[in-house]
Amino acid sequence: MNKNLTTDVTIKQMPAFKRAYKKLQPQQKEKVNVAIRAIIQKPQIGQAKKGDLASVFIHKFKLGRQEMLLTYEWTI
């Protein structure tokens, strides 16, 4: 296995995410950032959708008592 493997990651925020993220408290924003970092480190963490959305993954995490869903696309 090549240990010098580099991975290019491109993160794009959709407008709805930007609006929702802007309204979060600083502690909540940090939890969202932790979830995003977890996705970057291990993209397989989310559940793959099926059918027409086969390239879309959903990562679920808790933000307080509310379950949040982060949707992302990942290609090898």
Q: What is the pLDDT of residues 17-50, one digit of tens each?
A: 999 999 999 999 999 999 999 999 998 899 999 9
How many residues can be counted in the chain? 76
- Cα–Cα distance between 50 and 56 in angstroms, integer? 8
Q: Which residues pair with 69 in a beta bridge?
A: 60
Residue ranges of the domains in the chain? Answer: 15-73
Stated pTM of the model: 0.81
At which residue do the structure tokens 């969202």 appear? 32
SS3 state of residue 74: coil
Non-local (6+) Cβ contacts of 71 within 8 A are 56, 57, 58
